[in-house]
């Protein structure tokens, strides 16, 4: 960290020794995985800076916003609508998960065979190492899978202001009605938290801000269709990860700058991997910072990742919200319509997700799909088998992987990925 933030971290109640250890591991991993890549776009320098200051300058900015009277809302899921948070004059940030922390403490509260993502979220809280969590005025949980739904009952005793949102599990009119009722309830909760009434003007502005953020990532995704690939999957994943932390306007500008640079690269037929490198689509569970294990393995084994069918990826940002509404009611309807299209594996049946995977294979000219499942994540692991079968019937090679956040299985994963990449060649 370029500045000493220790007093800030102390005031937030972080365990400085544990936090130093976390930042040390994070910094080393970033060095070994990200900075070791060759021919990276210059615009990635911004994201390197963001990662070097992810627990420093960004937290200071959030605390400055709080001092100025703005509220900070922390969330674990793409179903929490940023548009409503921004319209109430608050800031939405993603909360820490993506690495194992304080596992022994976590397993006193949760069963050992709970999915790694949930255990990680608890570990960051119990280990006192997530400044985003400690800065937040409200934590929003959501009833996606059964694991999260029950885990929030335990989390409620660990945080001051937990708000839990219910989510539909079936896509029909009743499901949409539930989502609409929940988003209206969330709007009321945000107004109550901030003391600010959401107006047609503030909601329209918020929709435009979030749409611009997503549109920048859509532009980045479209450029990944080129061969040779102008950007690595690791770097594109990082942009998708930073989407959840950064100031929205600054993030949008930074992604668009990278896109300007990539357009020039494509024109010059300049890639980060040689032409005809096997192209892989990664589908399945979200990959939060610092979960870079799988992309690192894939891209050091002679393949390039050209897309992520994930909440930290295309599933999370796919659709824009219709901006044409003029009343709060009409705009809330548009927000509900937009989020109801997210094809999370909690939905049953979930044919849209399979269609999207096949569409992405065609759009990104992928040679094969790696389905990434986190251990004990029932929805995605259950769905991975029919997905694999359907892809094989469509003659699209698919490799199903199940893993966690530890580095213990890297050798085994590498062997399987190497064999898959050979097959693609």
**Cα 280 to Cα 277: distance, rounded to the nearest angstrom:** 10
Q: pLDDT tier at 4 (50, 70, 90 boundaries)?
A: confident
Counting residues of the chain whose pLDDT is more than 90, the rounded percentage is: 99
Of the candidates 375, 373, 396, the one whose C-alpha atom is nearest the C-alpha of residue 383 is 373
Inter-residue contact 384 to 284 (CB < 8 Å) = yes
Averaged pLDDT for residues 156-162 = 96
The tens digit of pLDDT for each residue in 405-422 reads 999 999 999 999 999 999
Q: pLDDT tier at 3 (50, 70, 90 boundaries)?
A: low
The token pair that represents 56 in the structure block: 């420093």
The tens digit of pLDDT for each residue in 194-216 reads 999 999 999 999 999 999 999 99
- pLDDT higher than 60, residue 1: no
- pLDDT higher than 80, residue 27: yes
- pLDDT higher than 50, residue 69: yes
Tally helices (H) and strands (E) across the chain.
19, 8
Averaged pLDDT for residues 130-142 = 97
- pTM value? 0.97
Averaged pLDDT for residues 289-304 = 97
DSSP state of 290: T
Average pLDDT, the chain: 97
**What three-state secondary structure class fits 92?**
strand
Domains of the chain: 204-320+344-424 (3.40.50.11900)
Q: What 3 state SS string does 95-157 have?
A: CCCCCCCCHHHHCCCCCCCCCHHHHHHHHHHHCCCCHHHHHCCEEEEECCCHHHHHHHHHHCC
Structure confidence at residue 2 (pLDDT): 46
Residues near 58 by Cβ (< 8 Å), separated by ≥ 6? 50, 245, 246
DSSP state of 419: H
Of the candidates 367, 219, 402, the one whose C-alpha atom is nearest the C-alpha of residue 279 is 367
The tens digit of pLDDT for each residue in 311-359 reads 999 999 999 999 999 999 999 999 999 999 999 999 999 999 999 999 9
Structure confidence at residue 310 (pLDDT): 98
Residues near 74 by Cβ (< 8 Å), separated by ≥ 6? 92, 93, 94, 95, 132, 133, 135, 136, 138, 139, 140
- pLDDT higher than 70, residue 378: yes
């Amino acid at each position: 960290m370029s500045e000493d933030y220790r007093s800030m971290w102390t005031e937030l109640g972080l365990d400085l020794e544990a936090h130093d250890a976390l930042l040390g591991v994070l910094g080393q991993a970033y060095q070994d995985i990200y900075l070791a890549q060759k021919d990276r776009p210059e615009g990635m320098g911004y994201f390197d800076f963001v990662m070097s200051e992810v627990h420093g300058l960004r937290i200071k900015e959030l605390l400055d916003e709080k001092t100025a009277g703005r509220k900070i809302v922390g969330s674990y899921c793409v179903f929490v609508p940023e548009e409503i948070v921004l319209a109430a004059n608050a800031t939405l940030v993603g909360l820490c998960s993506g690495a194992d922390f304080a596992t022994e403490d976590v397993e006193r509260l949760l069963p050992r065979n709970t999915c790694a993502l949930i255990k990680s979220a608890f570990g960051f809280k119990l280990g006192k190492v997530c400044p985003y969590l400690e800065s937040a005025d409200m934590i929003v949980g959501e009833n996606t899978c059964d694991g999260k739904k029950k885990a929030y009952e335990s989390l409620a005793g660990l945080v001051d202001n937990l708000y839990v949102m219910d989510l539909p599990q079936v896509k029909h009119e009743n499901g949409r009605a539930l989502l609409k009722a929940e988003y209206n309830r969330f709007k009321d909760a945000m107004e109550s938290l901030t003391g600010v009434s959401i107006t047609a003007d503030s909601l329209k502005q918020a929709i435009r801000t979030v749409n611009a953020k997503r549109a920048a990532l859509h532009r980045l995704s479209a450029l990944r269709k080129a061969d040779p690939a102008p950007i690595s999957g690791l770097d594109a994943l990082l942009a998708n990860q930073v989407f959840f932390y950064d100031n929205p306007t600054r993030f949008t500008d930074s992604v668009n700058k990278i896109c300007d640079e990539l357009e020039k690269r494509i024109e010059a037929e300049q890639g980060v991997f040689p032409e005809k490198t096997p192209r892989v689509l990664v589908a399945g569970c979200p990959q939060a910072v610092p979960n870079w294990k799988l992309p690192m393995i894939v891209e050091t084994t002679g393949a390039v990742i050209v897309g992520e069918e994930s909440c930290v990826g295309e599933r999370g940002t796919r659709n824009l919200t219709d901006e044409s509404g003029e009343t709060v009611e009409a705009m809330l309807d548009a927000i509900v319509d937009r989020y109801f299209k997210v094809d999370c594996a909690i939905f049953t049946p979930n044919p849209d997700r399979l269609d999207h995977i096949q569409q992405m294979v065609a759009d990104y000219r992928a040679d094969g799909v790696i389905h990434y499942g986190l251990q004990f994540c029932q929805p995605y692991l259950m769905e991975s088998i029919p997905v694999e079968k359907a892809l094989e019937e469509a003659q699209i090679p698919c490799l199903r992987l199940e893993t966690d956040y530890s580095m213990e299985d890297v050798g085994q994963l590498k062997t399987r990925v190497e064999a898959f990449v050979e097959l693609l060649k």
